[in-house]
C-alpha cells in the first residue's frame, strides 16, 4: 500500500506513520513543520527505505498534486488543533483545516486515489449533558454516535466539521472513496506540550501551578495514541465508503481527576492545582459510542487509561530532551 500522510510529523500523525511502516506500507509524509510538527517525532523512521519526508503546506496545490501522484490512500491529519489558539486567532484554522482539506480532496480526485481518510474529532458533535463518570447513573448515559447531529461550538471544531462535510460532499458529488474517523481526546508520547496531559506533567515537574479551567469537572473520553492510529488504519482498510467511524477510549474522566492522577504519580501536592477562569464556550462533556468501529472494523481500545497514563508520564520523564527540543523550535 502506498500512502500519503499529511501532518505526519505531529503527535497522532507520527504514530500513524510508524504503524504503517511496520505494516510494510510505503509512506510519503507531508508536513509544514509548524509549531506542533517536528522532525524529531520521526527520528527513527526518517531514513527508512520505504519512507519519504516532504516539508510543505497542504494549501500548496502544486506540491500536493506532486506528492499525491501514485498514492493509493491519503490520510489527512494536517490540522491546526488547539481550541484555545482557535479562540484567539481563527484564520489559520480556516486556512489549514478547510482550504487545505479542499486542496487535498481536489488533488485526490484528479489522481484517482483509492481511498481518502479524513481524520477528524469528536468535538464536531458539540457537547453532551454532564454526567459524573463516577456516578451511579453513568452506565446509562449516552455518547455520541456517528448519527449524532454535527454541532461544533469552537472555531477549531467548526473548521473540522466543515472539512468533514467537504469530504462527504466529494464522496456524494464526485464518487471519491471517503472515510472519516472521529477520535476522542488522545494522549501518549510526543504530544505537543501545550495540551492538557503533557502541560500538567511539565508544570508539575517544575513545581509550578497547574491551571485548571473552571471547576475542573469537564468530562473527556481518553484514547491512547497507539489505539487511535490503529483505528485509523482499520478504517482505511475495512471502512465503508461514505461513512464515519467513532474511535473512543471508553475512559471518561473529569479534567480534575486526570490532573490529580498526574500529581499522585509524580508525588506532587494537590495544592499545585489552580482553578482559573473558564474558557469561552467550553464544552462540558464528550463521550464516544464506538459500536460501529467495534462491529465493522473489529476495533476497540486496548489500553487501560490509568495504566496508559502512567506509561505516558514515564515517557515524558525519560524524554526531557524531546520536550526541550520542541519547546525551543
pLDDT in tens, 169-199: 999 999 999 999 999 999 999 999 889 999 9
Determine how many CB atoms are found less than 10 A away from the CB of residue 307: 10
Q: Check whether 328 has a pLDDT greater than 90.
A: no
Percent of all residues in the chain with a pLDDT value above 90, rounded to a whole number: 90
Arithmetic mean of pLDDT, 129-158: 90
Rounded Cα gap, residues 196 and 45, in angstroms: 27
| Residues in the chain, total | 329
| Higher pLDDT, residue 320 or 238 | 238
Instruction: Please state, in angstroms and as integers, the Cα–Cα distance from residue 12 to each residue in 111, 231, 255, following that order.
Output: 25, 11, 21
Q: What is the pLDDT of residue 35?
A: 83
Q: Check whether 312 has a pLDDT greater than 80.
A: yes
Q: 255-272: per-residue pLDDT in tens?
A: 999 999 999 999 999 999
3-class state of residue 241 by DSSP:
coil
Rounded Cα gap, residues 84 and 328, in angstroms: 20
Helix, strand, coil % in the chain, rounded to nearest 5? 45, 20, 35
| Higher pLDDT, residue 149 or 83 | 149
> Is residue 304 annotated as part of the catalytic site, yes or no?
no
Q: Check whether 248 has a pLDDT greater than 80.
A: yes
Binned at pLDDT 50, 70 and 90, residue 231 comes out as: very high
Q: 3-51: per-residue pLDDT in tens?
A: 999 999 999 999 999 999 999 999 999 999 988 899 999 999 999 999 9
pTM: 0.96
Q: What is the pLDDT of residue 135?
A: 86
Q: What is the pLDDT of residue 136?
A: 77
Q: Which of 201, 79, 211, 219 is nearest to 144 (CA)?
A: 219
Binned at pLDDT 50, 70 and 90, residue 142 comes out as: confident
Structural domain containing residue 143? 2-328
Rounded Cα gap, residues 146 and 248, in angstroms: 12
Q: Check whether 158 has a pLDDT greater than 90.
A: yes
Q: Check whether 141 has a pLDDT greater than 90.
A: no
Rounded Cα gap, residues 36 and 90, in angstroms: 16
Structural domain count of the chain: 1
Q: What is the pLDDT of residue 125?
A: 97
Q: What is the pLDDT of residue 132?
A: 87
Arithmetic mean of pLDDT, 142-162: 95
> Is residue 137 annotated as part of the catalytic site, yes or no?
no
Catalytic-role residue among 31, 123, 226, 252: 123
Contact 100, 58 (CB under 8 A): yes
Q: What is the pLDDT of residue 36?
A: 85
Q: What is the pLDDT of residue 138?
A: 82
> Is residue 270 annotated as part of the catalytic site, yes or no?
no
Catalytic-role residue among 31, 122, 221, 226: 122
Beta strands in 190-291 (DSSP E): 210-213, 219-224, 244-247, 252-254, 273-276
Q: What is the pLDDT of residue 45?
A: 97
* Cell output for 316: 515524558
Q: What is the pLDDT of residue 81?
A: 82
Contact 107, 76 (CB under 8 A): no
Catalytic-role residue among 156, 245, 286, 316: 156
Q: Residue 66, by phi and psi: left (phi above 0), alpha (psi -120 to 50) or beta?
A: alpha
Q: What is the pLDDT of residue 41?
A: 96
Contact 196, 202 (CB under 8 A): no
Contact 263, 273 (CB under 8 A): yes
| CATH number of the domain residue 272 falls in | 3.40.50.720
Amino acid at each position: 500500500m502506498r500512502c500519503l500522510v499529511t501532518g505526519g510529523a505531529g503527535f497522532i500523525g507520527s504514530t500513524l506513520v510508524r504503524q504503517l511502516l511496520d505494516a510494510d506500507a510505503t509512506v510519503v509524509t507531508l508536513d509544514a513543520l509548524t509549531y506542533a510538527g517536528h522532525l524529531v517525532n520521526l527520528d527513527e523512521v526518517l531514513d527508512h527505505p520505504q519512507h519519504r519526508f516532504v516539508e510543505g503546506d497542504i494549501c500548496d496545490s502544486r506540491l500536493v498534486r506532486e506528492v499525491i501522484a501514485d498514492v493509493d490512500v491519503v490520510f489527512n491529519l494536517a490540522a491546526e488543533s488547539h481550541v484555545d489558539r482557535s479562540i484567539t486567532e481563527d484564520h489559520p484554522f480556516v486556512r489549514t483545516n478547510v482550504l487545505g482539506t479542499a486542496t487535498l480532496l481536489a488533488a485526490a480526485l484528479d489522481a484517482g486515489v483509492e481511498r481518502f481518510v479524513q481524520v477528524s474529532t469528536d468535538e464536531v458533535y458539540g457537547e453532551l449533558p454532564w454526567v459524573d463518570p463516577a456516578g451511579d447513573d453513568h452506565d446509562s448515559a449516552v455518547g455520541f454516535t456517528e448519527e449524532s447531529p454535527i454541532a461544533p461550538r469552537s472555531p477549531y471544531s467548526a473548521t473540522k466539521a466543515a472539512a468533514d462535510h467537504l469530504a462527504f460532499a466529494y464522496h456524494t458529488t464526485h464518487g471519491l472513496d471517503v472515510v472519516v474517523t472521529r477520535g476522542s481526546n488522545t494522549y501518549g508520547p510526543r504530544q505537543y506540550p501545550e495540551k492538557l496531559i503533557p502541560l500538567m506533567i511539565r508544570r508539575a515537574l517544575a513545581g509550578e501551578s497547574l491551571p485548571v479551567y473552571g471547576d475542573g469537572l469537564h468530562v473527556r473520553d481518553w484514547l491512547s495514541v497507539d489505539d487511535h492510529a490503529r483505528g485509523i488504519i482499520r478504517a482505511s482498510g475495512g471502512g465503508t465508503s461514505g461513512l464515519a467511524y467513532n474511535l473512543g477510549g471508553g475512559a471518561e474522566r473529569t479534567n480534575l481527576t486526570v490532573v490529580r492522577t498526574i500529581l499522585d504519580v509524580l508525588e506532587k501536592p494537590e495544592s499545585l492545582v489552580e482553578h482559573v477562569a473558564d474558557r469561552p464556550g467550553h464544552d462540558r462533556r464528550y463521550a464516544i459510542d464506538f459500536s460501529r468501529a467495534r462491529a465493522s472494523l473489529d476495533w476497540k481500545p486496548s489500553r487501560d487509561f490509568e495504566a496508559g497514563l502512567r506509561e505516558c508520564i514515564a515517557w515524558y520523564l525519560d524524554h526531557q530532551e524531546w520536550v526541550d527540543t520542541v519547546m525551543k523550535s
